[in-house]
Structure 1
Amino acid sequence: MNWLWAIILGLILGLIAKAIIPGKQQIPLWLTVIFGMLGSVLGNWVATGIGVEDTKGIDWIRHLLQLAGAIVIVAVGDRLWVALRGNRKKTV
């Protein structure tokens, strides 16, 4: 996978993860892309570990694992971003 496809996949997975996670995430777009890319790598690693990294046709299990990895990393990364930046919006 070349870098352009990794960035595109990271953007798509990061945006889908942000849409699935309840509430508003405060991470910027560039960080969403990076977290999506990391989620993709995490999902591929898990898929390799359970033996579904390469199947005939579309690798649905691998793609779902990539999305799950992106969801986890975006959620944790957003909380870390808010904690480090200290600009969490308070609701009354």
Structure 2
Amino acid sequence: MLFDILGLIVVGLIIGALARLILPGKQSISIVATLALGVLGALIGGFIASLIGTGDIFELNVLGFVLAVVAAIVLVGAYAGMAGRSNRAVR
């Protein structure tokens, strides 16, 4: 179970970096936030894939990986949008 969680974190870090690279434009969020959103995206992708019946939440297969990247892109985009909005309000 511990190795499953560590594996999910490592894959989540990769997914967060991929989401940041795929998302167009400049995102003014920290790398830690990007990586955390990648881990969250990996959890979401694994959960959706397990609901579909393609594996366990910790068993991130191809479909789960694609869903995780899409979820991370949405999360990074939403977070960057909210962070950008709060930066504009301060100025």
The equivalent position to 2:30 in structure 1, one of 13, 28, 31, is 28
- Cα offsets for 1:10-63 (capped at 9, x unmatched): 221111101111111111000001100110111111111211125xxx821111
More helix by share: 2
Distance in 2 (CA, whole Å) between partners of 1:19 and 1:53 is: 27
The equivalent position to 2:52 in structure 1, one of 44, 50, 53, is 50
- Sequence identity percentage: 31
The equivalent position to 2:5 in structure 1, one of 2, 5, 10, is 2
**Runs in 1 of length 4+ with deviation above 4 angstroms?**
none
Which residue identity lines up with residue 2 of structure 1 in the other structure? I
How does 1:1-92 map onto structure 2 within 5 Å? 1-3=4-6, 5-54=7-56, 59-84=61-86, 86-87=87-88
Aligned residues: 83
TM-score normalised to the size of structure 1?
A: 0.77
Q: Which segments of 5 or more consecutive residues in structure 2 lack a partner in the other structure?
A: none
Shift of residue 9 of structure 1? 2.1
Q: Which segments of 5 or more consecutive residues in structure 1 lack a partner in the other structure?
A: none
Give the alignment's Cα RMSD to 1 decimal: 2.0
Shift of residue 83 of structure 1? 1.8
TM-score normalised to the size of structure 2?
A: 0.78
**Secondary structure of the equivalent of 1:47?**
helix
